[in-house]
Amino acid sequence: DIVMTQSPASLAVSLGERATINCKSSRSVLNTSRNKNYLSWYQQKPGQPPKLLIYWASTRESGVPDRFSGSGSGTDFTLTISSLQAEDVAVYYCHQYYDTPLTFGGGTKVEIK
């Protein structure tokens, strides 16, 4: 199984400041023939289902604010919120869909400092 490890587990950031969440996979999720990383990011607010933010590691889902960006390749990935807003308080998950079993990271809780 591909193990997804997120860090930190929680993060407190001031409004307007940058938040950075890391995700490391136990093996590469890069499909070299397609040059695509099978990695997505989700935001989950309390009492709500997850919401897709980023797929193919860096493609922003339609309607997602451009302060959210994804980067990385192979085994190391980052979700960046460039200027944290109050509505960004949530738990964020990375997810690999390179191989079954599909796996998620343990989550990173983002709060306001």
Partner 1 sequence: EVQLLESGGDLVQPGGSLRLSCAASGFTFSNYGVSWVRQAPGTGLEWVSSIGTSGYSTYYSDSVKGRFTISRDNSKNTLYLQMNRLRAEDTARYYCAKHVGAGLIVDAFDIWGQGTLVTVSS
The two beta strands, 103-104 and 90-96, are antiparallel
CB of 72 to partner 1, least distance (A): 15
Segment near partner 1 (CB under 8 A); pick from 12-20, 36-44, 65-73, 80-88: 36-44
Q: Which of 52, 58, 69, 71 binds partner 1 (CB under 8 A)?
A: 52
Distance CA 104, CA 87 (A): 23
Q: Which of 49, 66, 86, 113 binds partner 1 (CB under 8 A)?
A: 49
Q: Which residues contact 40 (CB under 8 A, 6 or more apart)?
A: 52, 53, 54, 55, 56, 57, 94, 95, 97
DSSP state of 86: G
Query: Looking up tokens 């949530």, which residue turns up?
Result: 90
Q: Which of 21, 23, 29, 93 binds partner 1 (CB under 8 A)?
A: 93
Binding mask 60-89 for partner 1 (x = CB under 8 A): -x----------------------------
Residue 16 or 100 having the CB closest to partner 1: 100
